[in-house]
Structure 1
Amino acid sequence: MSIKYSVIERGEPGVAGGGKKKWYAQVKTDGEMTIDDLVKEIEKFSSLSEADIRGVIIAVENEIQKGLASGKIIRLDKLGSFYPSLSSGAADSEKEFNASLIKGAKVNYRPGKRISDILKTATFSKSK
């Protein structure tokens, strides 16, 4: 297996007219894996039923939602960590800052070591 890529031309960011253009690799995704696909694959090497696997996945999703909404870092061992972050406007002083300046929240993901390591050893092939 390898990660497929295509090559695209991009200009220099912030330079009027794009400046000197160069060529860069871009991942060419090869489909997607859905929950259904994951369940089928897990069923192959597990004694759990489809319903059990789906139940666990849904329960994990629900608990991640609750934890993130409470401002917690969710550490899933080798899978990685999910953590909330904020985007906000600025105030001239700490006293002047209030929650109305917060523009929104998002979820960040930091992969675990096994996931990071597999990408370090990935091979690449140019898409046709």
Structure 2
Amino acid sequence: MAKYEMQEMNLPNKDGKRILYPRLVQSGQASTDYITKILSEKSSFTRGDIKGLLQELADELAYQMGQGKSVKLDGIGTFVPSLALRIDKERETGEADSTRRNARSIVVGSINFRAEKSLIHNTNYNCDLERSQQKFRRSSQKYTPEERLERAKQYLTGHPYMTVRNYVQLTGLRPTTASVELRKWAENPESGITTSGRGTHKVYIQR
């Protein structure tokens, strides 16, 4: 059974009243090994067969998106690559004498996923919700500063850099508070976090 909690949004509504929204409490993660085990038990395919097929699918997804295509998998959703500048490059301004960014300055920064309605419907069908007994806390008070730092460091182990927006999503802090706290971590040599780039292109990386 899945659990949910009501969490307060960082910003109040136009009347200044707090707004609560339902948030799923994640109870763990289904790994590739777990999924292959379940699928193997439901079919005549071995776990090795399924794991190999999943790897082939991942490789083909990467190839097709690398060719500039989106990929649509029936019953699952559509994958669309998104471009970004390398973290040490500044944006073009569009002015006549400004530096123009060439292909070497641009990378695939992320992949957007848009779920099929059938996947959402089936997930909802299998979702038997129960309200969590955990005491409500404001999202900005959900973690201590030490816990927020640890979450940031864990995020950077799997990502090349982190933005203020990423930190907001990780911690529930408001953008201004998140920016101030990130600067504090970057100024502390023992935090394990430093910065790269400058101005609006500043990002946070592992020290």
**TM bracket (short chain):** 0.7 to 0.9
- Cα offset for 1:118? 2.3
Unaligned segments of structure 2, at least 5 residues: 86-90, 134-207
Return the structure number with greater strand share.
1
One-letter code aligned to 1:83: V
Q: Could you tell me how far apart the structure 2 residues matched to 1:49 and 1:12 are?
A: 50
Unaligned segments of structure 1, at least 5 residues: 14-18
Q: Could you tell me how far apart the structure 2 residues matched to 1:11 and 1:75 are?
A: 35
Q: Residue 92 of structure 1 aligns with which residue?
A: 94
Aligned residues between the structures: 122
Asked if 1:5 corresponds to 2:1, the answer is no
Give me the identity figure in percent: 26
Give the alignment's Cα RMSD to 1 decimal: 2.9
Asked if 1:112 corresponds to 2:111, the answer is no
Q: Could you tell me how far apart the structure 2 residues matched to 1:50 and 1:102 are?
A: 38
- Cα offset for 1:93? 6.1
Q: Residue 157 of structure 2 aligns with which residue?
A: none
Q: Residue 35 of structure 1 aligns with which residue?
A: 32
CA separation of 1:114/1:10 partners in 2, compared to 1, >3 Å: closer, same or farther?
closer
TM-score, scaled relative to structure 1: 0.75
- Cα displacement string for residues 19-40 of structure 1 (whole angstroms, at most 9, x for unaligned residues): 5433222110121100011101
TM-score, scaled relative to structure 2: 0.50
| Secondary structure in structure 1 of the residue aligned to 2:114 | strand
Matches within 5 A, 1:64-79: 64-79=61-76
One-letter code aligned to 2:74: D
